[in-house]
Structure 1
Amino acid sequence: ALEELGRRAFFEYPMQLAAYLRSALSDAAAPKTYGVHVDGERVGHIAWARLPGGSAEVAYTCATCHASVVGGRVVPGRNEPDLAVAAMIRKASAGVGEQPLWGPGRVDVTTDDAENPVAITDLRPILFQKNLHHAATLRNGRVALAIRIETLIITSMGESVRPPRKLAAALAVYLRSLAPRGPLPGPSDPGAAVFARVCGGCHGGEGLAGEAVDLAVVGTDPAVGLSSERTTGRYRVPSLRGVGDRHRLFASGDVEDVDELLRPGRAAKGHQFGLDLSDADRQALLSYLHAL
């Protein structure tokens, strides 16, 4: 019952006020333009939030950013790589004020007055994560996740509402249920030894996750880890379960997928691990990663 409540809340409960959606999605072509998925009569699983005083405002649900359509089927937890939040804000503001320029599949979640957007997170492997947030600001766990969900709703809704504690707990239970459960490739897989040598030092255990690492270790865009709001000087090591179906890699979302990640000469800086592999080892590792 708690998991089912969490599933409904994931798709229906207002999570973040977003008045700009009224203007940005004012015509029939807008959802496709801005990467907002349409599921039947629901557009991006956007909801109306009832506010104190009786007014209402448009709001994101969890599913707006953390669900996407694949082969005509909605996949809960899968980050929406084409969601163009910055472009919708620019349209709604009509060029007035500071204009966010970051690309699709990203969102600036901090209030530090700096342009440091992060990739929308794939929530499916959250069960396996050691830490929450790209900057590893919180240890993960069932209770910690429920508390984080509660505080996220409170702050994202302008401190106008407080969700029922049961709802936050239900969302945590539901998110943890999305974890990939299939067996991992065995040690005889051609890519297993390559993975152990190149990736296993950070991505280990059943969840293929690990403890946070210093920014200098990965060498990717450090903006999020140095944010004045979430400064840790570290990045979490994400779980690689299901990584073959994940887009917008790195905290900044600068890498499209694992194929680009291991492509020599890619434009995105940092995370050089595996870029010097032979063609045979690279293909073996890619096949292994896609099977996770």
Structure 2
Amino acid sequence: MSEQRIINFMGRRKLAAAFSIAFLVAAIASLAINGLKFGLDFTGGTQIEVGYEQPANLDTIRKQLDNAGFEKAVVVHFGSETDVLVRMQRGFTPGLGDEVMEALSREAEGEIELRRVEFVGPQVGEELRDDGGLGMLFALAVVMLYVAMRFQYKFSIGAVAALAHDVILVLGFFSIIGMDFDLTVLAAVLAVIGYSLNDTIVVSDRIRENFRKLRGMTSLEVINVSLTQTLSRTLITSFTTLLVLLALFFFGGEMIHGFSTALLVGVLVGTYSSIYVAANVLLALNIDKEDLMQPIKEGEELDEMP
């Protein structure tokens, strides 16, 4: 081995476990008490697209809608600054588009155009919510099967524990701050599963390799060596990903604000879990080199004898 300084990650595993458990309890408690604030995609409602001649001021539009009785309407830019999308959690009624246009036309600079009015039924939203939940569970099941086949079942338990940890914390974050949970956020949660899995696979592959190479070390030492060797790759990947997500968060607009927020939280907790959660579970399951030794084929011992 080289003279690389080995970081004692697992020396703090109990503190990390307590940290994770505390945040998981807070997230689960918030999900149980407050639940998620589902957006229009899941609850059903009406969305109206309006075109302006001049760049639209979203704060002014929100005040106009509030004064007209359309409370808690979500107003975002849709593409350019002259295109506005209004979303409200209320059923479609004949003339709703005209009522909104009348409210917006009173103080509008220039003419405005009603481009489309769409209604999303609550039944469709409920189906999307159920299908999304089943999609996440299916993804976790496939991941567990894949990691068990590629590595060993103890690695699959660690990988799924890390992924479940990340998903619960992201969902708990949205529950605690009361941010809308829509289809873009669900897509981000699924992306977090893929990102976290990729990081965990890299770490697991190095742990398996070192268990076969570093025969004189304990399991804790082998995992510390493996985490140290993959640390630079993990940090560089996370840092470059965060740069892109920060750009989306600050300049991407309201339409993808929830998406970028979920990914920002997911990348941070995913980086943490690939180091402390997955490896911590491996130690808790008493992983050792015998679990990863390649089976000796029949007759191989005779061939190796002088």
| Range class of TM-score, shorter chain | under 0.3
**TM-score normalised to the size of structure 2?**
0.23
Please report the TM-score for the alignment, with normalisation by the length of structure 1.
0.24
Structure having the higher helix fraction is 2
